Amino acid sequence: MTENRISVTRELTAEGLEIRGVLPPGLSGTLYRNGPNPRFPGGDAHWFLGDGMVHAMTLGPGGASYRNRWVVPAGQARLLGKANTNIIRHGGRMMALEEAHAPVMFDPHPHPPPGATGPMPAAWHVGTAPFTAHPKHDPHTGELVFFGYAADGPWSDAIRCGTLAPSGRLTWETRIRAPFCSMIHDMAVTPDHVLLPVLALVGRADRTDRSGFGFAWQPELGGRLALLRRGGDGRDVRWFDAPPGYAFHIVNAWEEGGRLFLDLLVYDEPPLFPRGDGAPCSCAGVRPQRWSVPLDGPGEARVTALPDVTGEFPRIDERFAGSRHARFYLASRAPGGGAGSFHAITRMDAESGEGDGFDFGTDASVSEPVFVPRAPDAARDEGWLLAVAWRPDWRTSRLVVFDAGHIVDGPVATVILPQRVPDGFHGNFIPDAHPGRGIA
């Protein structure tokens, strides 16, 4: 385990934090970040299975503050799951997400009342089946599109897809059958379609004692891509052979010229997991690719290489999700850097191949960069990038704010946090004047 994956044990609330540089005057709200933070460190449990902890960093005219809280109260993980992967807002509720369980309602206030954490309201009809940690917010309709694998119970081949209205009400749900139980971490969504990458990271009950997680890489089974029409009954699902490799995260998707395109980050085989024979998978680097499938008629998946960068946790200006993007942002590291932490923030131009960024040093650890528009009506990609960085020679972690158009110039503002923030997964910035639609 890398040094910055060691758990923190204190729940803190700290006001009036030191700020170096100048916070952008219009940047007012809270960056929430979720990740695994085992309550009882030790043993050989998979890092992905740690208890969820949310770190909240609030910025505004009054300065900067920080608080961190366990998501699930002690003793309730068996009921609610770990809730350790993402945190979003939809329908006026904060939802902590982890793909093996249903969403967990989470009250982010400094002193939430008893019972503030628990299952989602019954009126939402979310149910108890697994719910992805990567639902997609439709910026045009305000809907939240989701899926869940193993929907008929552990290791089952059922996948459900659905939509929550801006109010949170379930408005569409359907189910399909996959060739096997695949760990589907992310999805591609356009205004009209959903694409699910059913890749060959395969779950079986008889593996849980050996790996602690139950999933292993079996490329001989072949991956598949499932294309569904949003609002359909699932019987119109179209299947395509997937290109080689495994992807945790999808950058974005759009439709053009009769095809659905998706940019994603592809590994030869998934790091941190075993192969089918129990040997560890390679930790070779990840590479961006563009996949596409035909929307109608016969055809096959196509692959196009994108600019070479070794990175993860991609984000875009999500006001334009579902339409073609020009740039994306990600945490990155030097090529061939293995499976350790990322130490730089990079902006990539998906068309020209040009990229620039800021490197904190190879011993640093940098989180997913979250894009925040300068204003609700700002031009595309005009805004800020927020990330959490840590170095061994720093006493604590730091919240860094970049001008998204000038990352190479370094942070315009740095907030000194009161403790170390361990490596985590995903989060979102919730502005103070929230417009009422979810940010996913």
Question: Distance (Å, rounded) from C-alpha 5 to C-alpha 246?
Answer: 24
Quote the pLDDT of residue 284. 75
Q: Residue 309's domain spans which residues? A: 3-431
What is the pTM (predicted TM-score) of this model? Answer: 0.94
Tell whether residue 101 is among the known ligand binding residues. Answer: no
pLDDT, greater one: 168 or 5 = 168
Average pLDDT taken over every residue of the chain: 92
Query: Which of the residue ranges 46-50, 165-169, 184-188 would you say has the lowest mean pLDDT?
Result: 46-50
Judge contact between 288 and 265, C-beta under 8 A.
Answer: yes
Residue 165 binned pLDDT confidence (cut-offs 50, 70, 90): very high
Residue 123: burial class (beta carbons within 10 Å; 0-12, 13-18, 19+)? exposed
Q: Tally the domains of the chain.
A: 1
Quote the pLDDT of residue 307. 87
pLDDT(124) > 90:
no
Query: Which of the residue ranges 4-13, 285-294, 309-318, 411-420 would you say has the lowest mean pLDDT?
Result: 4-13
Judge contact between 306 and 288, C-beta under 8 A.
Answer: yes
Percent of the chain at pLDDT exceeding 70: 93
Q: How many CB atoms lie within 10 A of CB 164?
A: 28
Residue 90 binned pLDDT confidence (cut-offs 50, 70, 90): very high
- Is 440 inside any structural domain? no
Judge contact between 84 and 53, C-beta under 8 A.
Answer: yes
- Is 287 inside any structural domain? yes
Q: For 106-116, what is each residue's pLDDT tens digit?
A: 987 766 665 56
What value does the mean pLDDT take over residues 94-105? Answer: 95
CATH of residue 344? 2.130.10
User: Which residues are CB-neighbours of 301 under 8 A, at least 6 positions away?
Assistant: 225, 240, 241, 242, 243, 291, 292, 293
Tell whether residue 426 is among the known ligand binding residues. Answer: yes
Quote the pLDDT of residue 419. 97
- Is 436 inside any structural domain? no
What value does the mean pLDDT take over residues 227-231? Answer: 98
Q: For residue 184, give the nearest of 139, 223, 221 by alpha carbon.
A: 223
Token duo for residue 153: 């119970």
User: Which residues are CB-neighbours of 186 under 8 A, at least 6 positions away?
Assistant: 132, 134, 197, 247, 248, 249, 250, 264
pLDDT, greater one: 307 or 345 = 345
- Is 437 inside any structural domain? no
What value does the mean pLDDT take over residues 136-147? Answer: 98
Q: Where are the alpha helices (DSSP H) in 146-231?
A: 208-211
Tell whether residue 249 is among the known ligand binding residues. Answer: yes
Q: For 21-78, what is each residue's pLDDT tens digit?
A: 999 999 999 999 999 998 887 655 677 888 999 999 999 999 999 999 999 887 787 7
Question: Distance (Å, rounded) from C-alpha 151 to C-alpha 131?
Answer: 9
- Is 439 inside any structural domain? no
Token duo for residue 116: 């503030």
pLDDT(197) > 80:
yes
Question: Distance (Å, rounded) from C-alpha 124 to C-alpha 419?
Answer: 37
175 DSSP β-pair partners? 160
Quote the pLDDT of residue 436. 36
Tell whether residue 137 is among the known ligand binding residues. Answer: no
Q: For 332-378, what is each residue's pLDDT tens digit?
A: 987 655 556 899 999 999 888 889 999 999 999 999 999 999 999 99
- Is 438 inside any structural domain? no
- Is 93 inside any structural domain? yes
Question: Distance (Å, rounded) from C-alpha 429 to C-alpha 56?
Answer: 9
Query: Which of the residue ranges 38-52, 87-101, 186-200, 238-252 would you say has the lowest mean pLDDT?
Result: 38-52
